[in-house]
Every structure is written in structure tokens, then in C-alpha cells.
Structure 1
Amino acid sequence: MQLTWQSPGALSRTELCSVVETMYSLSYIYRATGERSFADRCEKTAFNALPVMVMPDWWSHQYVAQTNQPMSLPLARPPFRNVNGRGQTYGLEPHYPCCTTNHPQGYPKFLSASFVKVGPNGLGHALLSPGKVSTTLGQGNDNNVTVDCETNYPFGLLFLYTIETQRPFDFYVRVPEWYIAEDSFARVSSSDSEISKGLIVDPDPVTGMLHVAVGKGTTKITYKLGARIKIEPRMNGSIAIHHGALLYALEIGTATTSMPALDWRYQRRLPSNRVVPQVHDHIIRNTTVWAVAIDPSTLRFQTNTPESSETVERLPNPIFQEGAPPTSITGMACEINWGYHSKGVPKEPPGPGRHKCISDRFTVKLVPYGAAKIHIAEFPTANLPADDDDHLADQPVISSGGTGPQSPLAREL
């Protein structure tokens, strides 16, 4: 999946309206075709591309965003056709206000599409997230069913289902393509039996749905997905780094300047009778180095939740903000020369043989992309193996087709 939806390059941009409409389209296509790759891509968009373009309080947003955007400033020479110089800053209407009215539809429509009927007597959890549904099943729609899913997904991979039903029915839960079978499990217990039944997580190869036969009364399902770091090749030999449904980005130190909201067309301050006190425009500058190359062999996934835990702990709200997510990835990196396309917009990642380390190696922290309002998420690579005394745990990395490090060479605008 490409967050830009246009080309494999990090310089390409995506519009917030496009993100919201893509989520809806992908959820609809999954329901129509049953091909789980569309559901996977819908979640990837919902948990990465949407939250990164919206400030945590949801009062300001970007018009366009880039996968690599280490600062969010007004641009004297914007590289985007038909987008003004403030289009990638956060505000009430940084460009045409279609996104101002459109972006709040994203998550409500995602949640409304999360549960689906499967045949005459089946119910499926198609788009994974916390949620609860009450509906009727059966030929006569006379079986009242309630399903309550407690989870921290996509930050946690444990799902606790409580199901109430008057009669037996078929329940299904989607298993994403990225799951690791040997690290996944499902367990079912019911009110009429003291014995828990284990299930092998072996979903339908097309839909990704795992079938669970649910009996009359109360049924509880404990379902856990296994995931590993996944490396995705990008332009110029760069890489994107994923774990589960989340894309990870370099944690960059920030300095935010807030100001009264401006009119998108004339760049004048909006009259006070047209805005509420919560509305501001924001400029975000980097305070730490962003131009780095990473050694993918040193990447290690970190989580605040013990792997053996079978409880769902409450997450901070809002969760897509600096310092809030409970997961991260660490690795070894070095600073490199990485120029600008124009002031405020970095060039494409330099390819192999076109960059070299200009600093000693250091540890970097990657955080969920949606929480990193300025970010680097497509990285050049370097060979920076860990020392023997680093004691890094053995965590396999899969390859496929709060603040960052301080540096005297940090390029701050």
C-alpha cells in the first residue's frame, strides 16, 4: 500500500478528502468482493493517513500531507499543483475548505462498516477496532444478537469479545494478511460449558475470515494476532517500516507556533464571529535531526503491554499525539546529507551510493505515523550493526516486495 495513492515517492502528496473517501471506498469494495486486501488497506489508511493529517484536538487539519515531512511551514515555492503555500500546515482551512467539512466523516463511516452480516445467519467483524453491535439474525430476523469487542487495536493485538444471543449463529472475525500464524491464537468459552475451546487461527484464504460457531447464551472469545516488523521497499532503495496495521515514523522534536485562523483564499485573519476559541492555525518546526539513514537489521519492536497479558488497558485520549502511543520501534541510525526540493520540502530519499554517514551511529525511536505530525517514514538504509554489548533481543524482521537525537548538524528551519 502507498499512503500517497499516486507514486512510490515520498515527495508526492495526498489530500485529506482523498484519505476519507478512500477509506469508505475500500470498506465498500471489501464488502462487495470479499478480498481481504481491501480491508487491510482500509485499516492502514484509517490508522495512519487520516490521524497524521489532523491535530489531536481535531480542530485543525492539513489539506495535503507527505510521507516525508520533517516540518510543517508555509512554503514560498510549494511543489504541489493547485495547492497554496499553506496547504501542508495545520489549520481550519489551510486550502480549499472541502477537507474542513469532509474529514469528520472518516471514523464514523469506518465504525459503521466494521460489522457485516455474512449469509442469513452470520455476523462478521470486518474492520477491526473497538466496537459494539446489536442486530437480528436468522431467516425471520428473530434472533437478537449483541457483540461487544474490547481491544486497543491497532496499538494492541488482543481482542476480547462478549457475545449474547438467543440462538446459535456463525461469527466471523477478520485475520489481516500480515498476521503471524504461530504467534496467533483464539479461545472460546460459553455460559453452558466450563471448558474453553482453542481454535487454530487458519482463516479463509480469500476473505481472511476466521469462523467461530457461537451457541445460545453468553460466549466469550479471546483472539490475539501475532505480528512482526515488516520492511516495505520504496523509491531509491529506501524502506518503510510497519508493525501490524501501523506505519512507523522517525520521532522528531517539535516546536509549535499557534496563531489565529486565516481565510484560505486571501490569507487574512478570519473575523471573530466566524470562528470559535478552539480554532487556530499552527506552524511546526523540527528541533532535532531528521535526515537519517537506518540499519533495518537493528530494528526492535517495543510495547508497554506484556506479551502474555490478556487484559485490555485503557489508552490515553487522544491517542494520536506525541508521547501517547504505547508502542515504538528502536534502531541504529546515522545522519546523512539530504537536501531540499525547496525550503521546507525535502528531496526524495537519496539512493544507495548517493549518501554516507556524517555522524557516529546513534539510537533512533520510531513512533506510530499517525501520532507524528512532522515525520520521516521512508528511510535510506545504512549498515550499522549493533555492538555485542547492546543486548538486542532476537526479533525477526520480515521483508516484502519523546524527541529525536540531538545533533550539531541538525537542519532546523
Structure 2
Amino acid sequence: MVCCALPVVFMLPLGAQAGIKQVSPGAYTPPAYEALPLGRVKPAGWLKRQLQLMRRGSSGHLDEYYPKIKVDNGWLGGRGDGWEETPYWLDGALPLAYLLDDRELKIKVLRYVNWTLDHQRPSGYFGPLTHGEITGDVTIDAAHANEGEDWWPKMVMLKVLQQYYSATEDKRVIKFMSKYFRYQMEALKKAPIGKWTEWAQSRGAENVMIAQWLYGITKDDYLLQLAALIDQQSFPWTTWFGNRDWVINTATYRNNTQWMNRHAVNVAMGLKAPAVNYQRTGEQQYLQNLRTGWQDMMTIHGLPMGIFSGDEDLNGNDPTQGVELCAIVEAMYSLENISAITGDVFYMDALEKMTFNALPAQTTDDYNEKQYFQMANQLQISKGVFNFSLPFDREMCNVLGARSGYTCCLANMHQGWTKYTAHLWYQAPDDGLAALEYGPCTVTAEVGRKHREVTITEVTDYPFSDQIKFQFSINKETTFPLQLRIPAWCDEAVMLLNGQPLRKDKGGQMITIQREWNDKDELVLQLPMRIRTGTWGRNSSAVERGPLVYALKLQERWEKGTDAAEGAYFSVYTPDDWNYALRRQDVRHAADSMKVTMERPLDSLFTWNIKHAPIEITAKARKIPSWKILNGVAYQPPTDREGLYKGPVETTVHNITLIPYGCTKLRVVAFPVVR
């Protein structure tokens, strides 16, 4: 595709990192936390049930009914689809198989892994058979790199192979990747990363990341040279995040000019680029640019559930803008890598907010249907043309359907929960363990100077509960450091060891407990959750408690329909009143005026929906009579400089019920504020 140039203030040569010099390979900086082998963390409780729902749904069976994967698949040597969607599906289905230790699913996904490993060309090139290979006597090697095909889907398959190696240590993967990267080093001279598509050019950080991962194993310097070359040929995300002109332009332009630079999924993948480049070079400016870019983007495009708008473009912070499901799972994966590389709690907190709020709200309970775009304030899910930057002619962007919108999200959504689960725990420095995120699970790892095996069972209903128990199983007492994240939203965490007070720590840091641990030790971490409010687009206010954002509880009426091109789908409507505004006094003193009126343990059938919402908050509110749905959307009422709606408001004060955002399909989360 061809893009026109934006104003000079925006454009920089690809790979030109303003103010940053390319540092020699000797500056490589290992990540702050090393990933554990896939399978060392096992889900439990509600998290295991979520993965089991995915296994029974599309995550475990997409290849059986979705034609692009089922029919003559290119990643199995066929003549069918050989682009991104099969690797996308495998990128979630493979870790799911190992997290659940599911033999049948392992057999299924390993067909694709083994075909890929077994059919690498002598030159190192890999992937589905190219058009030239099928139709003529063409050998794909560095001298004939132009006869190859798009670099982009190979980047996704490299992530799949990385996870496979993490789970199995199959040495074929190291040999395969080394051979491919040597081919790529030469081939990029003839066929640059963006030769076939801007998708590869905009997502080069995915390729860089895997090359550097392999360097961490083999220490072959050419891998860092390759990583630098790919970065130079790719979109310069680090520069754009740091120089601020880019984010200004994303809020200005709404046309085909340079749209790939503000495409939300590209941005979500590009987020990791500064951290990955920092890992290669040790240059601190990369991390400064990352923080600047994230904060600017969330200021201009941020939504209450912890993600930036993207429908498909970045599209401002109005709570009626949409966000693509692919953008959520890719931003999560970027934040997981950023957190491990930098050790910065800021990004760990951002990851959990996005995961527990934005992610579960966009799929059906059985994980078979999804919304291409969700809205923060969403009063109906229906066909229509909304204020999105991509309003398909078929008007299917907002409904819940397997094939609604683009099917990339159907293939890609599976990596969200699986990778979050796999990255709850990491190996910490000095032979320790670190919990960067929280959820019910068990982790097994070798710790201490003598590398003794320890299993820690994490018992919790987090994020719905503020208490996390860590139960230790170890053959012999062992000294090692245990690192725990204290989220910034927590004023002060309290820890008990075997029922006795141990320590208290302020939020916004990783803390280390260095001691001799014994079998049957139990460490309890308490993270008191206070009700608070935050200000979002159009001077709206959202209610938060701990990592969860809370939204108006609305009954749902589901209707099934069928589109001739995109198949079966669901629309959702509510019979309930919804046009409420919060009172300013309650917004300012939320912890005193709003109350948790229901808090119950999760049952064994917990699902992210209104029926199973385990917490309710009651708040005072007044109705705005003129606030109505127009063309399927509840556009935000206007406010003055004080952030108040000054139009007619009913005098009656109502008690409204709020539940976790992730349990809703319809909701108000960004409330207007009145006196």
C-alpha cells in the first residue's frame, strides 16, 4: 500500500532514532526478570476455569470450523491461507495446551510446529510454499530473496516457536532460528522488512525481540546486528513516542494519510520497541521515550478500562470511541515484555488494569464470539455506523460475532489470557522468584544457591479479593529472595508470615523478602482496596477499587441475527434506565460516600458476566433526562470548565449498583458529573 507524507514535523527516516545513537553489541542489557519455562506456572481457581472455557471454545477448536485454518492450510504445506491467522491462533493455542497440560491440544498444535521445523529450506527460509515455489523452479535463498513472501506472518510464527522451545527445550528450534536469522541478515539487503507490506515494517519489533531472545541463549553477535538492522528498516516507534509530534498528529488526522502509524494494533505492538531497543543497547533514552509516549497516548486517547482507543485508528478519549480486541491482547503482550525488561512497576500496574477490565468484556462467555470494537460507555451492541475510523459497509464492527469485523481478532484473541497466566511469575536475580502479576496459580522453580525446587501455591480470588496467600512446598529449607509487586493504587500493603506480622510497604514498588523459607510456610499479602474516582474524556468520572474499574449494572437482552457475509452474531440491549450522573460531592469523597454492598467468594462456575459479578458498589446518582441514545450511541453530555453538566437534572437521588467492568457487556463507566 502507498502512504502519502505527513507534515515534515512528523516524518523521520525509518530507523532514524532522534537523539539516540546505535550502541555496540557489548551494551546488551539482560532483562530485569527472566521468563520461566512455559508450564512452570499452572493456573488455578477462576483463572484455570477461564482457560478451560477457552479450550472448550474457539481457542481449542478454531482449526475444526474456521475455513482459513481448516481448509488446505498453508502452514501444513497446503495451498490455502498462509498469512497471519494460523500463527495468530497458535500464538494462543500452543501456550494454552501447555498451561493446561492438555495432550490432545498439544498434538493438534504440534502438527503446525513440526511441519514448520521440518520444512525449512536449505537457505534458512521458512513458511508456507511461495507462489514461485509452487509454480516454478525457484529456490528461495538470500540471492533470490525477492522470490520470498511477507516477513510479517513469520514474525508471529517465531513467537510460537519461542514458546514451544520454552515448554520443551527442543533443540531443533535453536538450530532452526539460527539458520533463519542468518538467512534474514543477508536477505534484508535485497528484500527489506517492508518490501511486501507495511504490516512487517510497522511490526518489526516482534522480529527484533525474538532475535534478541536467541542472542540471550547463543550469544552470537550477528543476532544483535540483525536486530539493529531490522529496527532501522522498521517504523521508528521510539522516536515517535519520544518526540511528541507523532501523538499530536494521531489526534489530528482522520484520513488515509499515514494511517498505519496510528493503527491501534501497530501501536500496541510498537509499544515494546523502545524497551527491546534498550535491551540491545543499554541506552536509557529509549526508556524515557517509552514513558513519554505511553503517558501522552493515554492522556489523549486513554479510556477508563486501561486501554487507548483504536477503532482502528487511535481516536481520542471520548468514552464512545471503540477499541479493537487485537489492540488489547497485543498491548498486554507488549506490557508483559516491557515489565520483564525494565522491572518497572508502572507498566505492571498498567498491564493488570487492562487485563482485568478491557479484556474480558469483549468476548462471549464460551469464548466463541467477540466484538471487533468495544466502547467504554456501551448502551447497546448492534449493527450500525458509529464514530469509528473504520465503519464497515456491513455495519458489523460492534456486534458479537465470530467473523464480525475483521477475523484477525477471532484468530488473535487467544493469546491474552494464556500469556498473562504464563507471565504471572518470573525468575528474579540472585536465584529468586518474582510475582509481577497476581492470580490463582502454582509455580514451580529452582531457587537459591543450591537450586532447590520450590512450589508456591498462590491462593486468591484476586482481583476481586485483596488477600493473596502464598503456600510453600519445599523439601529442605532454602534461602532465596522473593519479590512481590505492591501496586501503586495500594496505599500500604500488609504481610503476615505464618500468621504473624512481617512487614508493611507502600505502593508502587517491588519489594524483596530475603529469608530462609521452610516447607509449609504461608505468606499472606494484603492489598487494601480503597474506592476512588478518576477523570476521563469529556470530564467524565469513573469509579475504581484496586485494579478494577466499576460500571453501571444493566440487565441484558440478547438477540441473535445472521449477516450474509459475516455469519451469525448477537446484538444486546437493556430495558433498564441508564442515564445517570454522579454527584460532585460523591466523586470528590468516593471512599466515604460509595460503599461495597456485596462481596462474595468466587464459585467454581465463575465467568466474567453480570450473573457471576462477585462485588457490587452502591453509589448516589441523579438522572439527566436529555441524555438519550442516538443511532445506537449515548454521546457524552457537555460540561463546563468545572467538569459539570449544567443542563436540567432530576432532583431525585437514586442508589445505583456498580459491578466490575469486565463482567459487563452493556454499561456506563464514564459518568457525567452534576452538583
TM-score by length of 2: 0.50
Give the secondary-structure state (helix, strand or coil) at the position aligned to 1:168. strand
Counterpart among 649, 658, 664 of residue 372 in structure 1: 664
Aligned residues of 2:637 and 2:645 also touching (Cα < 8 A): no
Kindly indicate whether structure 1 or structure 2 has the higher relative contact order, using CA contacts under 8 Å at least 6 residues apart.
Answer: 1
2:603 match: secondary structure = coil
Q: Provide the rounded CA distance (Å) in 2 between the counterparts of 1:103 and 1:46.
A: 12
CA contact (8 A) 1:250 1:376 kept: yes
| 1:174-194 C-alpha deviation (Å, 9 max, x unpaired) | 11111132xx421112xxxxx
Task: In structure 2, give the amino acid aligned to 1:231.
Answer: T
| CA–CA distance in structure 2, aligned partners of residues 92 and 41 of structure 1 | 28
List runs of 5+ in structure 2 lacking aligned partners. Answer: 1-297, 310-315
- Cα 1:230–1:93 change in 2 (3 A) is same
1:235 matched to 2:530? The reply is no
Larger Rg: 2
Question: In 2, distance between residues paired with 1:214 and 1:72?
Answer: 54
Q: 2:575 corresponds to which residue?
A: 287
Which residue of 589, 609, 617 corresponds with 1:329?
Answer: 617
Output the CA distance in 2 between the equivalents of 1:105 and 1:338.
42
Query: Conserved in 2, the CA contact under 8 Å of 1:159 and 1:224?
Result: yes
Report deviation, 1:363: 1.0
Shift of 1:332: 1.3
2:519 matches 1:224: no
Name the structure 1 match of 2:633. Answer: 345
Paired residue type of 1:258: K
Instruction: Output the amino acid matched with 2:557.
Output: A
CA contact (8 A) 2:636 2:672 kept: no
Determine the C-alpha separation between the residues in 2 that align with 1:323 and 1:49. Answer: 18
Give the deviation of 1:338 after TM superposition: 4.8
Could you report, residue by residue, the CA deviation over 1:189-224 in whole angstroms, capped at 9, with x for unpaired residues? 2xxxxxx44122215x76433525242433111121
Partner of 2:128: none
| 1:65 and 2:374 aligned | yes
- Dislocated runs of 4+, deviation >4 Å: 338-342
SS of the residue aligned with 2:335? helix
Equivalent of 2:457, from 139, 148, 151? Answer: 148
Q: Within 5 Å, give how 1:296-311 maps onto structure 2.
A: 296=586, 297=589, 298-305=593-600
Q: Which residue of 1 aligns with 2:430?
A: 120
**Residue 170 in structure 1 maps to residue 170 in structure 2:** no
Q: Which has the higher helix share?
A: 2
3-state SS, counterpart of residue 202 of structure 1: strand
Query: Any conservation in 2 of the 1:173–1:210 contact (CA below 8 Å)?
Result: yes
Aligned length: 351
Contact residue 336 and residue 359 of structure 1 kept, 8 A: no
The equivalent of 1:404 in structure 2 is: none
Question: What is the DSSP-based 3-state SS (H/G/I as helix, E as strand, rest coil) of the residue aligned with 2:420?
Answer: helix
SS of 2:453's partner is: strand
Q: Give the Cα separation in 2 of the matches to 1:49 and 1:135.
A: 31
- Give the superposed CA RMSD: 2.1
Q: 1:119 to 1:160 in 2, by over 3 A?
A: same
Q: 1:115 deviation in Å?
A: 0.1
Match of 1:99, SS state, is helix
2:647 equivalent to 1:355: yes
Query: Once the 2 structures are TM-superposed, how far is the Cα of residue 231 of structure 1 from its aligned partner?
Result: 0.7
Which shows bigger deviation, 326-335 or 290-299?
Answer: 290-299
What residue is the counterpart of 2:390 in the other structure?
82
Gaps of 5+ in 1: 190-195, 270-279, 306-312, 384-413
Q: Distance in 1 between matches of 2:495 and 2:446?
A: 25
1:239-273 deviation per Cα after TM superposition (whole angstroms, max 9, x unaligned):
0110001000011122111245x46xx34x4xxxx
- Percent of aligned pairs with the same residue? 23
Question: Do the aligned partners of residues 338 and 151 (structure 1) sit closer, same or farther apart at CA in structure 2, a change above 3 Å counting?
Answer: farther
Tell me the SS of whatever aligns to 2:612.
coil
Using a 3 Å threshold, how does the CA distance of structure 1 residues 338 and 23 change in structure 2: closer, same or farther?
A: farther
Q: Deviations over 1:16-35 (max 9, x none)?
A: 00000111111211111111
Check the 8 A contact 1:349/1:378 in 2, yes or no. Answer: no
Measured after TM superposition, the shift of residue 102 of structure 1 is 0.8
| Secondary structure at the counterpart of residue 437 of structure 2 | coil
Distance 2:439 2:549 in 1: 17
